[in-house]
Amino acid sequence: MKTKHLTIKELTQAVGGGVTPRMVRHYHTLGLLPPVKRSEGNYRLYTQQDVQRLQRLVALKQQGFQLSHIHQLLESHSEETIDPTPTLMAQLQQQYHSVIQQITRLRQTASALEALLGRDRDCQITQAEALAQLKQLEVDAQEGLGKLDQLWLNLDAETTTHPEVFQESLQRLLPDLSGYSEITVHLLHQLVLACGDVSLVNFVRLSPDAIAAARDALNVGCSVVTDLTAVAATLDQTRLAHLGCRIEALIDDPHITGASEAEQAFWDRDLWQKQLQQIPQGCVLIIGYAPSVLLTACKLIEQQQIQPALVIGMPIGFSHAPAAKRRLMATQIPYITIQGSLGGGLLAAMTLNALVETFIEKPDCHCYLSRP
């Protein structure tokens, strides 16, 4: 059977992702793409294998890998395994530390902007004065840096005259949330206030039916199951009791309070794994620490052994936790999660607390049915 070849234009169309013929030629020059067969007119001809390699290249580039690292990853790729060399791992670690330094610098910039933009009405006069001083500030050597420190001290002095108006600050700092329902916006506000990081909004993920599922479950007095007693203790127990919701902790040892302890404890005792298999149907399952609890819960959901009404999955971790959250988002169960390693018991508990608050205060609100 004759192999179907693609032109360079057809190759880029098959791969997508904004790849252009010029980029493909550049990748050939760098050795990221191997030499290919040419037509009688000296045009490059590509196969499906070339499509797959370029797709892998683009995916790795979008993840932020440097081209030199991508070359090593592609060369070490096989259908069965990737065996990274110690040199490559050291280079990736160096890139990671460089990225963290960039994030730190950006975080410092964001903090400075928040200090200006996050001022409420009572601080606006001082804010205008600070902006005027920044415009004229000459920051050269230590004397200039000292002036900058004094500028912030003058600006901060106004904060002792009145309480902070959080909602007013959030209006200036948060991205446009007009596409979200009123209930979802309230939830996002509460999560930001719980951790003090406005950028968290960009990582929160809700399934389209999450809010409706939560309100339906709360309406019938659902059980609430947490991974740790520390998470259960942070829940709004008064409001949940008013709704008739019973709270229980899966790992019910009060001495286990963190992610590392919870993760190991879940693996060490079959009892807690068996208890996970027996959680009530239609409950709200909240996982704020142990990624293996969420991974196991996803497995049981896929096998139709458990069927919670909603999973709030926000465990902490750097490999298992992101994987567990991706698996959760692939299930058919309503979910609320935070992408990546971010999370924790406070954010997980705050998620349900915000949903309970709006359910009690706005029982007849149906804004979530038309918007996320």
pLDDT at 345: 95
Q: Vertex 205, ends 220 and 99: CA angle to 5°?
A: 150
Give the pLDDT band of residue 155 (cuts 50, 70, 90). low
Q: What is the pLDDT of residues 320-341, one digit of tens each?
A: 999 999 999 999 999 999 999 9
Q: What is the CA 188 to chain-centroid distance, rounded?
A: 13
pLDDT at 315: 96
> Which pTM was predicted?
0.75
Token code pair at residue 25:
């030629």
pLDDT at 79: 45
Query: Average of pLDDT values for 167-176?
Result: 82
Contacts of range 192-197, beta carbons closer than 8 Å, 24 or more positions apart:
193/166, 194/346, 194/347, 194/350, 195/346, 195/347
Give the pLDDT band of residue 348 (cuts 50, 70, 90). very high
Specify the range with the lowest mean pLDDT, choosing from 78-87, 110-119, 289-298, 324-333: 78-87
Token code pair at residue 129:
């004065």
Dihedral angle at the C-alpha atoms of 259, 263, 268, 274, nearest 10 degrees?
110
Would you tell me the crossing angle of helices 291-302 and 270-277 to the nearest 10 degrees? 40
Greater model confidence, 117 or 130:
117
Tell me whether strands 284-287 and 310-313 are parallel, antiparallel or unpaired. Answer: parallel
The answer to whether 4 touches 12, Cβ cutoff 8 Å, is no
Answer whether residue 272 shows pLDDT above 50.
Answer: yes
Give the pLDDT band of residue 261 (cuts 50, 70, 90). very high
The answer to whether 1 touches 43, Cβ cutoff 8 Å, is no
Mean pLDDT over each residue of the chain, to the nearest integer: 85
In whole angstroms, give the CA distance from residue 194 to residue 199. Answer: 13
Give the pLDDT band of residue 344 (cuts 50, 70, 90). very high
Tell me whether strands 335-338 and 204-206 are parallel, antiparallel or unpaired. Answer: antiparallel
Please name which of 216, 219, 203 lies closest in space to residue 313, comparing C-alpha atoms.
203
Residue for token pair 């610098």: 105
Token code pair at residue 354:
């915000």
pLDDT at 72: 79
Query: Average of pLDDT values for 32-53?
Result: 89
Give the pLDDT band of residue 1 (cuts 50, 70, 90). very low
Query: Average of pLDDT values for 129-152?
Result: 58
- Choose the most confident range, by mean pLDDT, from 5-19, 47-61, 74-88, 307-321: 307-321
pLDDT at 123: 62
